[in-house]
Amino acid sequence: MTREEQLLAAMVDAVDTLVDDFDLIDFLHQLCDRCNELLDVTAVGVMLTDPDGRLHLIAASDEHTRLLELFALQTDQGPCVECHRSGTARLNVDLGSPAQTAAFPLFAERARRTGFTTTHALPMRLRQQIVGALNLFQAHEQNISDSDARIAQALADVATIAILQHRTIVHGNIERAQLKAALSSRIVIEQAKGILSERWSTDLDTAFDALRHHARAHQLTLTNVCKQLIDGTLDTADIQRP
């Protein structure tokens, strides 16, 4: 697909929140995929807030990024945390610059060890309501272009509208219920990733890709596939390797 077609597909993904079986986690992982496809970035992470305003990691493009984002939450450091607090974007943060990383030295050091040189954080907000942050990482020293920055913010905005729209459609209290379900699903998914990774003797990213592919191929939610793998109703032999 052309870049314009990929961007249009991302918009269509957001419209799919109108369906009854909308899968929040899969939608946000799809957002990560779209960012990787459309932007000159190495990795992507998505954080959402709970009703009390606390950030939680919901999706990441790979295992290394997931661990880095969890570290940011544990230490309460990083451009993503600052972006959520201020509601403004943090672009072209040089992780090797003491001046730019003075407020989050632990995160910067951990990010450099992970292999990243530059990071960007964009708010997921609609007017005054901030629902989270979209985090982009680069392994090469290059500022994000103005065009890519606009596309990244557009993707974050569309995702925000989709999430808020779905919360409103289902019921008024969906914010608490949806995030609680997403966090519970995240635990189930991590368990299934570990099981498949061990049985296949492969890495967690490969296992996760296989679970996502199986869910889509059989028109099942990712969470249900993982539950089936854990309780033994789904045999690993039935899952196609990437």
Residues 124 and 226 grouped into a single domain: no
Residues 124 and 100 grouped into a single domain: yes
**pLDDT value of position 60:** 95
The candidate with the shortest Cα–Cα distance to 58, out of 174, 162, 190, 173, is: 190
> Would you say residue 68 lies in a domain?
yes
> Would you say residue 177 lies in a domain?
no
Residues 144 and 191 grouped into a single domain: no
Residues 198 and 112 grouped into a single domain: no
133 φ/ψ angles, rounded to the nearest 5 degrees:
-145, 145
**pLDDT value of position 172:** 56
Greatest CA separation for the chain? 54
pLDDT tens per residue across all 242 residues of the chain? 676 777 777 676 666 655 556 788 888 998 898 899 889 899 999 999 987 889 999 999 999 999 999 999 999 999 999 999 999 999 999 999 999 999 999 999 999 999 999 999 999 998 888 999 999 999 998 899 998 999 999 889 988 988 887 777 655 555 667 777 788 888 999 999 999 999 999 999 999 999 999 999 999 999 999 999 999 999 999 999 88
Per-state percent for the chain, helix, strand, coil, to nearest 5: 60, 15, 25
> Would you say residue 176 lies in a domain?
no
Residues 166 and 204 grouped into a single domain: no
Kindly report, residue by residue over 173-223, the tens digit of the pLDDT.
556 677 777 888 889 999 999 999 999 999 999 999 999 999 999 999 999
Q: CB within 8 A of 152, min separation 6: which ones?
A: 35, 39, 120, 122, 134, 136, 144
**pLDDT value of position 34:** 87
Residues 231 and 163 grouped into a single domain: no
Residues 17 and 87 grouped into a single domain: yes
> Would you say residue 179 lies in a domain?
no
**pLDDT value of position 1:** 63
**pLDDT value of position 164:** 83
Residues 94 and 201 grouped into a single domain: no
CATH number at residue 189: 1.10.10.10
> Would you say residue 159 lies in a domain?
yes
> Would you say residue 175 lies in a domain?
no
Domain of residue 226: give its range: 184-238
**pLDDT value of position 16:** 63
Residues 212 and 147 grouped into a single domain: no
**pLDDT value of position 222:** 94
Contact 77, 110 (CB under 8 A): no
**pLDDT value of position 225:** 95
Contact 117, 94 (CB under 8 A): yes
CATH number at residue 62: 3.30.450.40
Residues 43 and 129 grouped into a single domain: yes
Number of domains in the chain: 2
Residues 230 and 129 grouped into a single domain: no
